[in-house]
Amino acid sequence: MSQSQTAIEELAGRPLTTLSEDEQMFRASVREFAEGELRPRVEEMDEKGKLDPALIKQCFDLGLMGIETPDEFGGAGSSFFTAILAVEELSRVDASVGVLVDVQNTLVNNALIRWGNQEQKEKYLPELASDKVGAYALSEAGSGSDAFAMQTRAVDRGDHYLLNGQKLWITNGNEAEIFVLFANANPEAGYRGITAFIVEKNFEGFSVGKKENKLGIRASSTTELILADCKVPKENVLGEAGKGYKVSIETLNEGRIGIGAQMIGITRGALDAAIAYTGERQQFGKSINQFQGVQFQLAEMATQLEAARLMVYNAARMKDAGLNFVKEAAMAKLYSSRAAERVSSLAIELYGGYGYVKDYPVEKYWRDSKIGAIYEGTSNMQLQTIAKLIIGGKQ
């Protein structure tokens, strides 16, 4: 019996949101950390636009930065679904920390686990599991949705490549020490010249540029990277030269489920806050959650959360089962980002004037939600992916 068949049979007859005992214990431990250590820091980190270094260290100490990484490389050796649970629980309290853990696991570690050779895995995966933050560098000023229009170039110099160009919108840019970075080593071949590289922060010719001042996920650093004759050893090519387009596409398919988890975490946080506040707020002699109009809004919010959660969990389970999950990942990211924005906006309205000020949490959930429609593939790009697959008969 194949691994895929086994995974499917294990899920048969129980809801997607039902967790195994180990998954329940893991979720509880992440929630305890998020409530005890993360929540007291959220406001200050948001105001300063910077993650607390002590909190990042705790994420490493708890094993949250190498969830899927095999035991032999110092990781937890767990499932992709477990990583999704971590991102959701962290994002319920602060999406900035959620995306730190998300990028580390679903993009950087995933790319190395899948495409790295043995030497690369032995060198970088233990560091990424223990104390070094990673980042994924694909986007450029003129290369966002059209990722293959990148202008960063790599020139073969025998035992090394020289990289020149500029990357933008790089999550974890300030904290990261290891970058999965893409450059075109053969522009005449178009996208077939794109190559993935493992770049270390201390490499000659590499520097971190401007940090963006953002609407939401403010504590998460989003930066420019500058490559000026950046010298990268030839052994740091990730996968095959000219196959970087394949590395990027397949890694981002998995990363979209991670963003979906971030969005359902935001949705949960906003809904929890709204339920608590409407039970406390008194108007006309009773709690406002006793009014049918408010109850209907809470019911709509809860329904959107459940639908988004089911889609994200389904895509994650399919990935772990070895099934084709591209359409499901695109749908999960699309719907969950919309749900997060709608639910957090409604939460602000339920809070009234208090919802619009920073003394209360819901305005931050709304600010954090907006990025879900933009990064790791805009909503329009998700719609395009879904349409191509259903029109092509791959429902």
* Residues noted as catalytic: 376
* DSSP string of 277-346, one letter each residue: HHHH-EETTEEGGGSHHHHHHHHHHHHHHHHHHHHHHHHHHHHHTT---HHHHHHHHHHHHHHHHHHHHH
The radius of gyration of the chain from alpha carbons, rounded to an integer in Å, stands at 21
How far is the C-alpha of 251 from the C-alpha of 165, rounded, in Å? 22
Strand partners, 223: 170, 211
Are 331 and 382 spatial neighbours (Cβ–Cβ below 8 Å)?
yes
Which candidate, 211, 148, 215, places its Cα nearest to that of 366? 215
First to last CA, the chain: 25
Token pair in block for residue 360: 């209360």
**H or E stretch including 139?**
none
Residue 273 C-alpha from the chain's centroid: 23
